[in-house]
Structure 1
Amino acid sequence: MNTYIILLRGINVSGKNKIPMADLRDLLNSLGFQKVKTYIQSGNIILESSKTKSVTCEMINVGIKDKFGFDVPVIARTILEWEKAINNYPFSKQNEKIVAFTFLDKASEITEIEIKNVGEDEYKINGDVVYLNCPSTFAKTKISNNLLEKKLQVIATTRNLRTTLKLLELAKDLTGF
């Protein structure tokens, strides 16, 4: 069995793409996934699957489309990939309110993009993760999922430091890692 941290992009945001977590867990269990756990309402899942990451993501995407009627991008990481993303964070983590990780559905060969008026906000593209340090706050930063998706030609979803660390903790608890 493989343990995956799964991220759904754009659910339960501003009343759009609403998926109750209990219904999502029921769906994932019905698809044959094991030890399904969700964390908060923004599409964070930990589960065990006998399938590869890509097959697992496809099954979840199709399942959500069939049950809830909308297309939701799905990104998966292993525990080791998740830890690597956290450990490679290039900026200070002292102020956790400005630290975030944008997870990409595939690695980007692009390492620099032009973003105007970012002020003190910083980013670093590292394969399938974009590291963010946003003193302006995430609500005001110009470094958004939509911008990164357009410039890098990927699917992107962002999680703050607290959520990223909590998902790692939950995944390790699930497996006894």
Structure 2
Amino acid sequence: MQYIILLRGVNVGGRTIKMAALKSCFEENGYQNVQTILQTGNVIVQANEKNIAKLQKKAEAELTAAFNYPAKVLALTPEQLENIVRQYAFTNIDAGFHRYIVFTENGFEKQLVKDCGVLDKNMEAVKAGAGVVYWCVQKGYTLDSAFGKYMNKMAVKHFITNRNVNTLEKILAKCG
């Protein structure tokens, strides 16, 4: 089966993993047709594992051993990711905004949206989806927006990883 594996916290905050090393790690652990996309910890693999939760835990253990950090990943099928991207909540935004999807665990997306505080509606908007938060934010304010600051604070306590929708579309284009 084909899977997309999104690593959390790669090539940010002083943790650098070269994509060639990441690809080698997966290949050495028996994954086939390994592709990395961009420099942000996006991997497409073929694996025999049918249980996605087991695959996720296995990948985390392998990455932790190879790169000496407490790896956290999210594994998805291409169909799951395509469905998430297709449901992006903000369709009428102009080119002055980034489109992000924030991936969470255990229903945390609802709490994240509920507790993020008052947002400047001219700068950003958020909406909870199934296991994700859809977020649009004015370019240049991703880290300085109210939701961006809150999300970074919560990432210390919960699994959160985000990707630009453009990146996710590039990943999906490589699946097949």
Structures share fold, TM-score greater than 0.5: yes
List gaps (5 residues or longer) in structure 1: none
Q: Aligned pair 1:169/2:168, yes or no?
A: no
Q: Distance in 2 between matches of 1:161 and 1:56?
A: 24
Shift of 1:20: 1.0
1:12-65 CA-partner distances (Å, limit 9, x unpaired): 114x22111111111101111111100111101111111122122112211121
Q: 1:4, 1:78 within 8 Å by CA — same for their partners in 2?
A: yes
1:73-122 CA-partner distances (Å, limit 9, x unpaired): 10011111111111111112543542110112344473641323421211
Scaled by the length of structure 1, the TM-score of the pair is 0.84
Q: Distance in 2 between matches of 1:18 and 1:109?
A: 27
**Which position in structure 1 is the counterpart of 2:152?**
146
Within 5 Å, give how 1:78-89 maps onto structure 2.
78-89=77-88
Within 5 Å, give how 1:1-177 maps onto structure 2.
2-14=1-13, 16-51=14-49, 52-92=51-91, 94-95=93-94, 97-108=97-108, 110=110, 112-120=113-121, 121-135=124-138, 137-144=141-148, 145-149=151-155, 154-171=158-175, 175=176
Q: 2:110, 2:128 within 8 Å by CA — same for their partners in 1?
A: yes
Q: 1:93 to 1:162 in 2, by over 3 A?
A: farther
Q: Distance in 2 between matches of 1:60 and 1:93?
A: 37
Q: Distance in 2 between matches of 1:119 and 1:109?
A: 19
Give runs of ≥4 in structure 1 deviating > 4 Å: 147-150
Scaled by the length of structure 2, the TM-score of the pair is 0.85
Q: 1:109 to 1:39 in 2, by over 3 A?
A: closer
Q: Distance in 2 between matches of 1:76 and 1:105?
A: 12
Q: Distance in 1 between matches of 2:39 and 2:138?
A: 25
Q: Distance in 1 between matches of 2:88 and 2:154?
A: 18
Q: 1:75, 1:105 within 8 Å by CA — same for their partners in 2?
A: no
The 3-state SS of whatever aligns with 1:84 is helix
Q: 1:132 to 1:20 in 2, by over 3 A?
A: same
Shift of 1:141: 2.0
Q: 1:116 to 1:109 in 2, by over 3 A?
A: closer
List gaps (5 residues or longer) in structure 2: none
The residue type paired with residue 85 of structure 1 is I
85-94 vs 72-81, greater mean Cα deviation: 85-94
